Structure 1
Amino acid sequence: MSAFTDPFSIGGKTPEIAEHAAVLVIGAGEAGMAAAIEAARSGAQTVLIDEHPLDSALFGLDVPFHFGQRADGSVQNQGRALDQIAQSHPRLDEAFEAGVDVRLGVTAWAGFVNGPTAHGLPKPVVALADVNRSWLTSFDKLIVAAGRRDLGFAFPGWELPGVMGAAALHALTHHYRAFAGRRILVLGGGRLGFETALDAKHSGIDVVAIVEAAPVFSAPNDVIEAVKAAGIALHASSMIARAEGSAAGVERVEIVALDATLAPIAGSGRMIDCDTICLALGAVPNIELLDQLGCKLTYRENQGGHVPLLSADGQTSLEGIFAIGDCAGIASEEDGSRRLQSWTRAALAAGGLDVTVCQCEEVTRRDLLDVRPPRYLDREGAGLRARSLQTLLADGPVNQDQIKRLTRAGMGACQGRRCREQVTALLALAGGIEPGAVPLPSYRPPLRPLPLSVLRDGHEHPGMRSGWDVWFGIEGQFDPYWTIK
């Protein structure tokens, strides 16, 4: 039998790998920096990358953190931003002395390994990019120290400039020194909320209040006493009813008292002046790269949600790929998912269903629960009116990917970073299931938004280019439909 080779197969036609690292570390926080220094001192050729300072355009897209348009104009100056980020890394000189190849302002936007659907890679690779170009780096060992991201939370007016996350606030005050707000209200009365408030106060920011839906604050007693001593007002059993402001951003917020059922008490509303609302309900491990590589994940309520399954030495389910720091799980004394469920119930009672939950695609809570298509499509057909989350639940367990495809919730530039956990909470409440039973939605490279200019010089293998218009031998598959007779 003669062998047959498909001329349109992608086998053996992989893109060029620009470089190789014995150890590639992603994330220059405390965990990533320590791992890189240790690897270099052991004699391994080590590359350490960190996405900060960000391309200035990413601040407006709220990636990787929810900046809420509260970065001042200094982030537009890449040189100044680089200098601030470098100064904020206390062990940077130590890394250089150890021989670490440190690269700031470099993003890991994808990872590729051989698996069930890919067999042609000579080595596992990570796709990297800076503000000018993109390239592939292969590795012997990959250490992911991608850290945490902000937990989004919707209420009427949360689309206004000035609603931001706790991780973003920390980054702007300590790493970029570019926070543009003056008077903030913190939403969340756990350890994160209280420590965020204290840190902001010590940074010279006026903190007007901490708001907590539960009847008691869950922060440690010594931290609570420190906040009281700092003169910060505390509002337990309370919820934001709405934020008000202008195109410039938040100007005031109305909070209402909650009864024992988390319902708002009539006539209890009060207005508080502020220009920033800091969401500090919790934090989420950055597992996108690990998930996209194919590392097995599990759901752990007290570690921030989905986290990688790790061996005793921190190795994931894939050989040679490790996870450390907050992306491997955020230790918490609280049950984060149940806490978010309580906050979601309070928000539904105070703000109702007609509140945008996915800002990128303008999907409201009602759109989500009624499984309504995007506004630019016909939404009034008889079949669509008969469809709801309950009709889907009758067919089987709720699936966030199915909801995403039908409503577009989570399909925007942030790929669900602002809404993913909120969508999970709503689906879990409506379906009467635990949040951990709602599957993690999918996402695709690039895991960070990238300008086309960064990708323009990345060409396919010549063997791919020669037959791209008949990929897999299907003639005319890319012909415009209007030319087909």
Structure 2
Amino acid sequence: MNTDPRSVAGKRLEIAERTQILIVGAGPAGIAAARHAHQGGAQVMLVDEHPVPFETMGESVPQIWGGRMGGSVRNRNAMTERMLEARPDLAELFEAGVDIRLGTACWGLFANQPNLGWIPGLVAGLADEEQGSHLVGFDQAIVATGRRDMGLAFPGWDMPGVLGAGAALVLARLYNALDSRRAVMLGSTPEALLAVLELVSAGVAIAAVVEQAAAPAAPEDLVARIRAAGVEIVTGEAPRGVTSDADGVTGLVLRNRTIACDSVLLGVGAVPMIDLLHAAGARCAFDNDRGGFVPLLGAGGETSLPGIRAAGDCAGIWPAKSSDPALAVAEGRLAAGAALAALGLATAPADVAPQPGPAADLGEYRKAWVRASVVEAVAEMPVCQCEEVTAREILDVSPPRYLNAPHLPNLTRSLTEILGEGPPDPDQIKRLTRAGMGPCQGRRCREQIQALLALQEDLSLGVVPLAGYRSPVRPISLAAAAMPEDPAIAAAWDSWFGMPRQWIPFWDVEEHYTVAALATEKEHVSE
């Protein structure tokens, strides 16, 4: 039987380099994993996307930067130096022989699966400013990509000065480039209040912590530390808008007062950054005690994809772990020990990964914030900033505005009726409204859409499935995406662009494609 020349069967990928253990993320878990794996005799490559290119930061990737990046972030060399000053362990690892790649984004992980049987083992896609995009083969991977912030819409949240609490910490701690002097924190989770204390120590005045609930959501001892630092805690309030000038936010408007500030920090939810794992096909599930959707892990932090492990905040977030980096370090060491054992360089370590205790209902807390800030907003505003889709348009499943379709609100049908049986599906909402399809890849609106759908159908948050992630999970330029390819793939270029001949039996396809040669009378078959 002849082989279809347009099939990927028999084609080869250009693998630029290989390593035994690939570690993605140079936080506490990633650094600990790199040190332990190197000491165990493995070849280790440690990649971290920081310093993030300024152009990428402008799209609120990977954090919600909110236009409060100081001008120094444009200087890549200065940012790299500041990062090494903030994380001196990186220099130590480099001197010890670890292959460290800073300013390098991992935009995809690929493993052999039913629809990827032709992949030559485990492969990662990396991109940096020097080499562009290239593929790296590896035997074991440890993903330690950390966390990001949940977005929260309110009138004016698209103004410069509204940024994530985690983004503010990165700018202050890692880059020393936070362009903010006085901020208000939205949310009183343990992670939000710990961020308040760190920002205060970095010289940022925190005017207030605003909480929609009647009482703070953090333990009383942490609340006491906030009050001892002189920070006001305002409960029973949600943002109603902002005041602003040419430079962005100048104040946060509440029901009966306006708090002067130049930044509003989104601290209503710290989200495990699982995009790389989910796009690779690792099984994930909602876990209230671990901060939301997290990968399902087996012994040694291994995901459902053999050879790919998770550690640190991307494997789960809870208060004790947020306040004590030693727990993330322990996860990194455990994952590295298991990776060494898989390579035959060590015996399998005892599986003693830190486990969280029972937590408050995270889903109800996030839904309450979305209800108070978005549903009860005094004016309509985009929930998806990239595509300018409002909450009403999401819940009405309105078509994108650029189609100029007549507005037909689905007020007589529930989302279940509109989208079919079963829980509402954020991916269907994305396809029908474009909410979540913009340059930030849903990082500002993903959790809000999930909460809106749960509120609409009166469901618990975890019942609404996770919207899909797709590679590349980081924006890369077309120039960087132009990787070397097998000449046999280039020879059948037209079949990759949806041209009609891709449905014609390959034995009937003309050698050279021309529009005039399209045979409309032939029977078309699906590949």
- Normalising to structure 1: TM-score of the pair? 0.92
Partner of residue 312 from structure 1, selected from 291, 296, 299: 299
Alpha-carbon shift at residue 98 of structure 1 (Å) = 3.5
In structure 2, relative to structure 1, the CA distance for the partners of 1:111 and 1:134 (3 Å cut) is same
Question: What amino acid does structure 2 have at the position aligned with 1:145?
Answer: A
- 1:381-433 deviation digits (Å, cap 9, x = unpaired): 66978776364156443111111111101001111111100000000010111
Alpha-carbon shift at residue 124 of structure 1 (Å) = 1.4
Residue 118 of structure 2 corresponds to 120
Residue 93 of structure 1 corresponds to 91
Alpha-carbon shift at residue 335 of structure 1 (Å) = 2.5
Counterpart check, 1:230 vs 2:229: yes
In structure 2, relative to structure 1, the CA distance for the partners of 1:43 and 1:158 (3 Å cut) is same
Equivalent pair of 1:371/1:387 in contact (CA under 8 Å): no
The secondary structure found in structure 2 opposite 1:239 is coil
In structure 2, relative to structure 1, the CA distance for the partners of 1:382 and 1:364 (3 Å cut) is closer
In structure 2, relative to structure 1, the CA distance for the partners of 1:56 and 1:215 (3 Å cut) is same
Residue 286 of structure 1 corresponds to 273
Equivalent pair of 1:393/1:431 in contact (CA under 8 Å): no
- Relative to structure 2, which stretch is displaced further, 87-96 or 311-320? 87-96
In structure 2, relative to structure 1, the CA distance for the partners of 1:310 and 1:349 (3 Å cut) is closer
Question: What amino acid does structure 2 have at the position aligned with 1:406?
Answer: L
Q: Distance in 1 between matches of 2:189 and 2:134?
A: 42
Residue 155 of structure 2 corresponds to 156
Partner of residue 421 from structure 1, selected from 438, 447, 465: 447
In structure 2, relative to structure 1, the CA distance for the partners of 1:480 and 1:171 (3 Å cut) is farther
Alpha-carbon shift at residue 198 of structure 1 (Å) = 1.9
Q: Distance in 2 between matches of 1:350 and 1:383?
A: 19
Q: Distance in 1 between matches of 2:113 and 2:375?
A: 46
Question: What amino acid does structure 2 have at the position aligned with 1:153?
Answer: L
Equivalent pair of 1:210/1:232 in contact (CA under 8 Å): yes
The secondary structure found in structure 2 opposite 1:217 is coil
Alpha-carbon shift at residue 115 of structure 1 (Å) = 0.9
In structure 2, relative to structure 1, the CA distance for the partners of 1:245 and 1:377 (3 Å cut) is same
- 1:352-371 deviation digits (Å, cap 9, x = unpaired): 57221100100000101111
Question: What amino acid does structure 1 have at the position aligned with 2:469?
Answer: Y
Residue 245 of structure 1 corresponds to 244
Alpha-carbon shift at residue 379 of structure 1 (Å) = 3.0
In structure 2, relative to structure 1, the CA distance for the partners of 1:232 and 1:478 (3 Å cut) is farther
Counterpart check, 1:30 vs 2:28: yes
Equivalent pair of 2:107/2:473 in contact (CA under 8 Å): yes
In structure 2, relative to structure 1, the CA distance for the partners of 1:396 and 1:310 (3 Å cut) is closer
- 1:121-151 deviation digits (Å, cap 9, x = unpaired): 2221000000231100010001101111111
Equivalent pair of 2:286/2:462 in contact (CA under 8 Å): yes
Residue 324 of structure 1 corresponds to 311
- Relative to structure 2, which stretch is displaced further, 380-389 or 68-77? 380-389
- Relative to structure 2, which stretch is displaced further, 179-188 or 198-207? 198-207
Residue 274 of structure 1 corresponds to 261
Equivalent pair of 1:8/1:473 in contact (CA under 8 Å): no
Equivalent pair of 2:30/2:311 in contact (CA under 8 Å): yes
Equivalent pair of 1:240/1:350 in contact (CA under 8 Å): no
Residue 129 of structure 2 corresponds to 131
In structure 2, relative to structure 1, the CA distance for the partners of 1:375 and 1:386 (3 Å cut) is farther
Question: What amino acid does structure 2 have at the position aligned with 1:96?
Answer: F
The secondary structure found in structure 2 opposite 1:14 is coil
Alpha-carbon shift at residue 206 of structure 1 (Å) = 1.6
Question: What amino acid does structure 1 have at the position aligned with 2:276?
Answer: L
Equivalent pair of 2:419/2:428 in contact (CA under 8 Å): no
Residue 259 of structure 1 corresponds to none
In structure 2, relative to structure 1, the CA distance for the partners of 1:324 and 1:383 (3 Å cut) is closer
Equivalent pair of 1:187/1:212 in contact (CA under 8 Å): yes
Q: Distance in 2 between matches of 1:57 and 1:326?
A: 26
Partner of residue 69 from structure 1, selected from 58, 62, 67: 67
Residue 21 of structure 1 corresponds to 19
Counterpart check, 1:430 vs 2:456: yes
Q: Distance in 2 between matches of 1:278 and 1:380?
A: 37
In structure 2, relative to structure 1, the CA distance for the partners of 1:376 and 1:173 (3 Å cut) is same
Alpha-carbon shift at residue 13 of structure 1 (Å) = 1.3
Q: Distance in 2 between matches of 1:381 and 1:359?
A: 20
Partner of residue 106 from structure 1, selected from 104, 107, 112: 104
Q: Distance in 2 between matches of 1:410 and 1:178?
A: 29
Question: What amino acid does structure 2 have at the position aligned with 1:239?
Answer: A
Counterpart check, 1:346 vs 2:372: yes
Alpha-carbon shift at residue 55 of structure 1 (Å) = 1.0
Alpha-carbon shift at residue 478 of structure 1 (Å) = 8.7
Question: What amino acid does structure 2 have at the position aligned with 1:114?
Answer: N
In structure 2, relative to structure 1, the CA distance for the partners of 1:352 and 1:370 (3 Å cut) is farther
Alpha-carbon shift at residue 473 of structure 1 (Å) = 6.8
Equivalent pair of 1:37/1:98 in contact (CA under 8 Å): no
The secondary structure found in structure 1 opposite 2:265 is strand
Q: Distance in 2 between matches of 1:66 and 1:86?
A: 23
Equivalent pair of 1:41/1:98 in contact (CA under 8 Å): no
Counterpart check, 1:371 vs 2:397: yes
- Relative to structure 2, which stretch is displaced further, 378-387 or 275-284? 378-387
Equivalent pair of 1:241/1:350 in contact (CA under 8 Å): no
Residue 265 of structure 1 corresponds to none
- Normalising to structure 2: TM-score of the pair? 0.85
Q: Distance in 2 between matches of 1:419 and 1:63?
A: 13
Counterpart check, 1:399 vs 2:398: no
Structural RMSD (CA):
2.3
The secondary structure found in structure 2 opposite 1:208 is strand
Equivalent pair of 2:185/2:196 in contact (CA under 8 Å): yes
Alpha-carbon shift at residue 166 of structure 1 (Å) = 1.0
Counterpart check, 1:441 vs 2:428: no
Q: Distance in 1 between matches of 2:95 and 2:396?
A: 58
Alpha-carbon shift at residue 349 of structure 1 (Å) = 5.4
The secondary structure found in structure 1 opposite 2:451 is helix
Q: Distance in 1 between matches of 2:513 and 2:148?
A: 39
- 1:86-106 deviation digits (Å, cap 9, x = unpaired): 111131233124321111110
Partner of residue 298 from structure 1, selected from 267, 285, 289: 285
Alpha-carbon shift at residue 459 of structure 1 (Å) = 2.8
Residue 453 of structure 1 corresponds to 479
Question: What amino acid does structure 2 have at the position aligned with 1:442?
Answer: G
Equivalent pair of 1:161/1:247 in contact (CA under 8 Å): no
Q: Distance in 2 between matches of 1:34 and 1:230?
A: 32
Question: What amino acid does structure 1 have at the position aligned with 2:3?
Answer: T
Residue 51 of structure 2 corresponds to 53
Equivalent pair of 2:155/2:379 in contact (CA under 8 Å): no
Question: What amino acid does structure 2 have at the position aligned with 1:425?
Answer: A
Q: Distance in 2 between matches of 1:350 and 1:437?
A: 23
The secondary structure found in structure 1 opposite 2:239 is strand
Q: Distance in 2 between matches of 1:241 and 1:188?
A: 15
Residue 335 of structure 2 corresponds to none
| Structure 1 alignment gaps of length 5 or more | 257-268
In structure 2, relative to structure 1, the CA distance for the partners of 1:190 and 1:469 (3 Å cut) is closer
Equivalent pair of 1:27/1:50 in contact (CA under 8 Å): yes
Q: Distance in 2 between matches of 1:149 and 1:172?
A: 13
Q: Distance in 2 between matches of 1:382 and 1:229?
A: 53
Question: What amino acid does structure 1 have at the position aligned with 2:308?
Answer: I
